């Protein structure tokens, strides 16, 4: 039976990876940035004066019409780019002003352009309201000719920025890149992700091999014989000894299954010292559950890709917030494996008793105690959100100061596929997080993994290893992203790992403090995620 199950698992995994390798060249999006080559501001009231080389670009429309011009050298632009964005930093504005972008000619220089000899505007390609200081990315795709792909007309490319509002807008120029972000033109283009999937396939096979090795003992645990049952011969301590050295008896057939001692139903909550599963099972089963869930999702995406006959489906679906919310239902896989495994430790292995044993229960708590656990969870979620927000902002400031890297521009959290862009999607995301994602992840990681590790390794190491594993599983995607510099990759990892690890430690400590009950832990986890999403949605103005 053991070998049959293992062969079945291996066959499924190999089949999924084989489909993955043979799938068409799926599209992943990458980008390349170009800092402004030249920029300058011109004033209608001073039509013959050049203002090139200043630290700020300005636009405005009143008694003195003000325009700004920016030129880029695009000789190294990717040939297959699909869209283009202008990133500018607003450093001053007087009111809610509009900003307009026009394509213009290249016949001007930063230190000789004036109002009287400025190039004419050719076509309007973008615009929008400016409501506060900060970085904006304007879509300039319309400024390029479009055939099968976007194309460049020449090596240089120039734009004019102006405004029809009475008040002026100040923007960072290329001269102030030590303090603000200079104008940057960003080209987005598709790249083949087959090499990534090949690497992911190899990694998947290595991980699944490890999980299958663990399952060899997990599916059937055998005791080691010290004497031959037939002749009484003392057996040498040789691993996997199959025959008695004296009489030749087949010892492998005589080995017996070792059953763990059972826990009585009345002791499911109170028992804190009972020897549970081994360390390798505590770590291996959550890894296996995460792997199974991701393989199921990959299989689903491949089926959708072939169904829609769209090679870009994998890059498009993560941008659909409703789809992202629906696939969170697959988190239920996190509960199935631990429920199946802990049955062997219970005298009455019902689903209810398994959940009680893993901490998902109100057993032993009166209504007042349950309310107390929920309120504590709410309090810890708010405190954790504020602490992590402070940590993230501090990391952003430190990285910007020490390495001159804008964390909001260079570093992103790869575990966040998309954010809700409408109220129904936001509500559905909140519901799935509170009733599915948070409970299932806590049952797997705190209820199963930390519970087992604490019994075998002690409280400190059990909590820390669980927090580390929880964080790394959520950050696997960062290793599939492309970074031009190793330093950026390291900063990306630290900027995402430290907040995850911190909130994971908080959750582990709460679980330990609340006598291995998950109510407060699940409330903290779910509400923390909800606050994070709402904050991001409000900050980015998505709804």
pLDDT along the chain (543 residues), means of 10: 54 50 47 90 92 88 85 84 87 81 90 92 82 85 62 79 84 80 86 46 51 48 55 60 65 52 79 76 87 76 62 53 64 85 88 91 88 95 92 82 61 50 79 89 94 89 92 73 64 82 94 93 94 84 64
- Which has the closest alpha carbon to 273: 538, 451, 121? 451
- Which has the closest alpha carbon to 411: 471, 472, 328, 498? 498
Domain boundary among 151, 166, 192: 192
Residue at 378 is within a domain: yes
Q: Which runs of consecutive H residues, i.e. helices, occur in 156-224?
A: 194-219
- Which has the closest alpha carbon to 160: 44, 40, 47, 32? 40
Residue at 266 is within a domain: no
Helix (H, G, I), strand (E, B) or coil at 429: helix
C-alpha 145/C-alpha 149 separation (Å) is 8
Residue 518's pLDDT is what? 94
C-alpha 526/C-alpha 491 separation (Å) is 27
Sequence-distant (6+) residues with CB within 8 A of 466 are 445, 446, 449, 450, 453, 504, 508
Residue at 276 is within a domain: no
Cβ atoms of 457 and 279 within 8 Å: the answer is yes
Residue at 227 is within a domain: no
Residue at 200 is within a domain: no
Residue 193's pLDDT is what? 46
Cβ atoms of 27 and 193 within 8 Å: the answer is yes
- Which has the closest alpha carbon to 59: 165, 185, 182? 165
C-alpha 192/C-alpha 172 separation (Å) is 35
CATH number at residue 93: 2.60.120
In DSSP terms, 159 is beta-bridged to 70, 103
Residue 535 and residue 392 share a domain? yes
Residue 8's pLDDT is what? 58
Residue 466 and residue 330 share a domain? yes
Residue at 76 is within a domain: yes
Sequence-distant (6+) residues with CB within 8 A of 538 are none
Dihedral sign computed on CA atoms, order 515, 344, 468, 17 = negative
What is the domain extent for residue 461?
320-540
Cβ atoms of 43 and 66 within 8 Å: the answer is yes
Cβ atoms of 318 and 417 within 8 Å: the answer is yes
Residue at 439 is within a domain: yes
Residue 198 CB coordination number (10 Å): 13
Cβ atoms of 174 and 182 within 8 Å: the answer is yes
Domain boundary among 134, 168, 192: 192
Sequence-distant (6+) residues with CB within 8 A of 452 are 276, 277, 278, 279, 281, 282, 462
Cβ atoms of 89 and 135 within 8 Å: the answer is yes
Report how far apart, in Å, the C-alpha atoms of 400 and of each of 172, 179, 396, 405, 408 are. Answer: 17, 10, 6, 5, 10
Helix (H, G, I), strand (E, B) or coil at 84: strand
Cβ atoms of 170 and 58 within 8 Å: the answer is yes
DSSP notation for 233-272: PBPP--TT--B-TTT--BSTTT--B-PPPPB-GGGTTT--
Helix (H, G, I), strand (E, B) or coil at 62: coil
C-alpha 149/C-alpha 229 separation (Å) is 77
Domain boundary among 176, 192, 208: 192
Helix (H, G, I), strand (E, B) or coil at 193: coil
Residue 227's pLDDT is what? 64
Q: Is the pTM higher than 0.75?
A: no
- Helix, strand, coil percent values for the chain (each to nearest 5): 50, 20, 30
Sequence-distant (6+) residues with CB within 8 A of 336 are 289
Residue at 259 is within a domain: no
Q: How many domains does the chain have?
A: 2
């Amino acid at each position: 039976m053991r070998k049959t199950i293992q062969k079945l698992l291996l066959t499924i995994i190999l089949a999924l990876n084989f489909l993955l390798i043979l799938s068409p060249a799926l599209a992943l999006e990458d980008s390349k940035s170009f800092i402004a080559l030249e920029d300058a501001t011109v004033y209608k009231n001073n039509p013959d004066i050049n203002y090139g080389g200043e630290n700020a670009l300005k636009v405005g429309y009143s008694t003195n019409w003000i325009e700004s011009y920016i030129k880029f050298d695009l000789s190294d632009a990717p040939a297959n780019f699909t869209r283009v964005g202008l990133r500018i930093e607003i450093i001053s504005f007087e009111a809610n002003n509009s900003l307009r972008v026009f394509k213009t000619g290249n016949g001007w220089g930063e230190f000789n352009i004036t109002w009287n000899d400025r190039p004419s505007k050719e076509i309007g390609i973008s615009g929008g309201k400016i409501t506060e200081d900060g970085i904006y990315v304007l879509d300039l795709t319309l400024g390029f000719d479009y055939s099968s792909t976007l194309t460049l007309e020449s090596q240089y490319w120039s734009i004019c920025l102006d405004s029809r509002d009475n008040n002026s807008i100040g923007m960072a120029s290329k001269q102030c890149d030590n303090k603000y972000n200079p104008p940057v033109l960003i080209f987005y283009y598709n790249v083949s992700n087959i090499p990534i999937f090949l690497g992911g396939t190899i990694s998947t096979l290595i991980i699944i091999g490890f999980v299958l090795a663990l399952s060899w003992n997990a599916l059937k645990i055998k005791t080691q014989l010290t004497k031959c049952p037939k002749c009484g011969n003392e057996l040498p301590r040789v691993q996997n000894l199959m025959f008695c050295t004296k009489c030749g008896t087949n010892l492998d057939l005589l080995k017996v299954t070792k059953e763990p001692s059972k826990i009585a139903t009345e002791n499911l909550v109170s028992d804190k010292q009972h020897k549970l599963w081994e360390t390798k099972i505590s770590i291996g089963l959550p890894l296996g559950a995460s792997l199974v869930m991701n393989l199921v999702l990959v299989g689903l995406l491949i089926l959708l890709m072939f169904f829609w006959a769209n090679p870009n489906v994998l890059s498009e679906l993560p941008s659909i917030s409703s789809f992202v919310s629906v696939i969170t239902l697959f988190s239920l896989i996190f509960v199935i494996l631990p429920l199946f495994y802990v049955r062997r430790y219970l005298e009455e292995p019902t689903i209810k008793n398994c959940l009680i044993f893993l901490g998902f229960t109100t057993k032993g708590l009166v209504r007042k105690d349950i309310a107390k656990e929920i309120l504590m969870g709410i309090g810890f979620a708010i405190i954790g959100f504020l602490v992590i927000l402070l940590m993230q902002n501090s990391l952003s400031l430190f990285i910007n100061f020490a390495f001159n890297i804008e964390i909001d521009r260079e570093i992103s959290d790869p575990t966040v596929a998309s954010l809700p862009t409408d109220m129904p999607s936001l509500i559905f995301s909140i519901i799935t997080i509170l009733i599915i994602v948070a409970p299932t992840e806590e049952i797997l990681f705190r209820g199963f993994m930390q519970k087992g590790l604490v019994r075998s390794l002690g409280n400190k190491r059990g909590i820390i290893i669980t927090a580390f594993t929880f964080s790394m599983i959520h950050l696997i995607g960062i290793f599939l992203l492309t970074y031009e510099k190793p330093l950026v990759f390291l900063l990306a990892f630290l900027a995402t790992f430290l907040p995850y690890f911190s909130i994971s430690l908080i959750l582990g400590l709460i679980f330990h403090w609340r006598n291995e009950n998950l109510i407060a832990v699940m409330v903290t986890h779910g509400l923390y995620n909800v606050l994070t999403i709402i904050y991001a949605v409000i900050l980015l103005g998505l709804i």
